[in-house]
Amino acid sequence: MTRNRLPPMAALLLACACGEAGVPGASVPIPLEELTLGAWSPPAMLPNDRFLPSSEAEPARHPFSGTITFAGAEIGTEPAELDPRRFMGRDTKRFPDVTLGFVADGGDLIPWNRNLVVSGTRTEAGSYWDLLVGPGTVWSEPGEAWSRAAFPLQLASSVENETYNGVATFAFNDREVSGVRFQTVTQGRPYFLVQRRLMRGQLAAEYTPGPAPGEVIEAFAAEKAGRLPLRPISDLRPRAGDAVFDAMHGEMNVENMVTAAFLVRDTLYVADCPTPFGDLPFCREQRFGIWSVTKSTGNTVAALRLAQRYGRGVLDERVADHLDVTADHDGWDDVRFRDVLDMATGVGEGSTRTEPNSTGDGYLIGYDDWYTAISRDARIRQVFRASNHPWGPGEVVRYRDQDAFLIGAAMDAYLKHRAGPEADLWEMLEDEVYRPIGVPHAPTNRLVEADGSLTLPQMSQGTYPTVDDLAKIARLLQNGGVHEGEPLLHPGLTAEVLYRTDVRGITFGPPVDIGQPSYYLALWHQNYAGEGGCVVDLTRMSGWGGHRVVLFPNGIVAIRISKVTGSEASPVEGLAAVADRLDPFCP
């Protein structure tokens, strides 16, 4: 056939610009004879570029639109023996039975559903895994009668919030698909599944042709048009200087880095996504479980949106007026929404020592019973089992995931009271904040009821953004909650949470020369001495595994996605030093 231009996504892959993917063509694609075996147990992991178009790739020979039904099967893992293999009765070495829809447009492979596909969590003894898929590419290889496709794949769970990121590929023609080959090559930090793992397999799959839901293709075109301009993070090196640039992650183990980025004047400077098998394919499309960063991108933003809709007095609403408090003490009687957002309910476990105060005192007491309660009522009851401290609300910061979940439940109940029983807090965020700023998909974990229905968003953790998504949410805050002239978030409260007024959160920890850190409305704050000698505030979102989103006073945003373990730190001072060099903090 006549050689044509490469399809758009394949051309992006070959360009290897700004963390898109490793350059394909260094090794030959997976043989078609292997893919057409159907279900198969590959003996080893492969270089990631073997899942991608070769340097000789041509446009796909066939159209594609329909669903693929995957037959669940045992997953090959490294290490082969997992501890634990099963969690909550579910098998972590089994891929779930699942059906996914895709449509090809030009060189793009577009998923019909970009939300978390809740499969394993809906079972009681099947696969442990739920999954996410993102846009990929279609092409053909010279001399093959079939076309090929590849797409980013993330295995996840509605119980935890780490992702196991990788890539999948299959061949197709007008009537059928081959087996679907996949491997996961990097991951976040888990809580229960402590043992790191690589996963691989090839699944039997059945193709049912059919039309895509309306506007899927048009919506993806709009999504691409609204993305932030992308540049390699190395472009910042000359401006930051070699020493400062190389020290941005401090003493972190480079093997625990997934990716990093800076948002500078609406351009996203992104690092590659290294893995042991080459750069992670489709890194821009990959979603990452960000754990407690959700407290800020979810709870903080939701509170600011509710305040914009109904007035800032929403923060003074009492939890007890919106939820059925089952505690055996009166500690919740006067707890306001703002107290819960501040992690200062006066309820919890741990010691009564407050000078100096450790925010993590008592953090894990009773934690697992709450964490593994995956239905709405059971999880709320677990929160209210906590003890009452001798101090009242609004005085002492004690960090509790339980409270971050609870404020989400309380805000959801408040919204239903004001807007009607069908209102949903997460859908409000999607419709009124995320989509307007260019975040069209915001998958999140929800609680799963015994009948398989999904209820409350978890809010303490559970979201799966792309790096582009995180940058846009942080940019909205940096812009005072205003997007294209419209205040999506309450401007006054947004200024407060960024410490642009005299209002400050509750301090904690031992005194330090440049001021104690503090916590305010689900955002962390610490002081930093700039190169010019001034002391500025760094506003930070933080998540388990070392995830960081840092908002600097010069408008720059830094993002780090990582998987640190044990006592390893994820410091932000090096990120601040780079931002300070790019646009000095001090006059």
Helix (H, G, I), strand (E, B) or coil at 24: coil
| pLDDT, mean over the chain | 94
Question: 10 Å Cβ neighbour count for 59?
Answer: 17
pLDDT at residue 68 in the model: 98
pLDDT at residue 29 in the model: 96
In which band, very low, low, confident or very high, does the pLDDT at 22 lie, cut at 50, 70 and 90? very low
pLDDT at residue 244 in the model: 98
CATH class as words, domain 293-457:
alpha beta
**Of all helices (H) and strands (E), which one includes residue 220?**
helix 216-225
pTM (predicted TM-score): 0.95
Q: Please say whether the dihedral angle defined by the alpha carbons of residues 88, 90, 95 and 99, taken in this order, is positive or negative.
A: negative
Q: Does residue 30 contact residue 51 with C-beta atoms inside 8 Å?
A: yes
Burial degree of 161 (CB within 10 A; 0-12, 13-18, 19+): buried
Cα–Cα distances (Å) from 100 to 27, 133, 428, in that order, read 29, 9, 26
pLDDT at residue 13 in the model: 40
In which band, very low, low, confident or very high, does the pLDDT at 510 lie, cut at 50, 70 and 90? confident
Cis amide prior to 43 (ω within 30 degrees):
no
In the chain, what percentage of residues exceed pLDDT 90?
A: 93
| Token digits of residue 435 | 């989509």
In which band, very low, low, confident or very high, does the pLDDT at 459 lie, cut at 50, 70 and 90? very high
pLDDT digits (tens, 9 = 90+) for 322-366: 999 999 999 999 999 999 999 999 999 999 999 999 999 999 999
pLDDT at residue 256 in the model: 95
Q: Does residue 67 contact residue 117 with C-beta atoms inside 8 Å?
A: no
pLDDT at residue 16 in the model: 37
What length does the chain have? 587
Which own/partner contact pairs does 508-517 have at CB distance under 8 Å and 24+ positions apart?
508/356, 508/357, 508/358, 508/359, 508/397, 509/356, 509/357, 509/358, 509/359, 510/356, 511/356
> Position 276: which residue type?
P
pLDDT digits (tens, 9 = 90+) for 298-324: 999 999 999 999 999 999 999 999 999
pLDDT at residue 23 in the model: 40
In which band, very low, low, confident or very high, does the pLDDT at 19 lie, cut at 50, 70 and 90? very low
Residue 512 has pLDDT above 60, yes or no: yes
pLDDT digits (tens, 9 = 90+) for 83-100: 999 999 999 999 999 999
Ranges in the chain annotated CATH 3.40.710.10: 293-457
pLDDT at residue 567 in the model: 85
In which band, very low, low, confident or very high, does the pLDDT at 587 lie, cut at 50, 70 and 90? very high
pLDDT digits (tens, 9 = 90+) for 181-214: 999 999 999 999 999 999 999 999 999 999 999 8
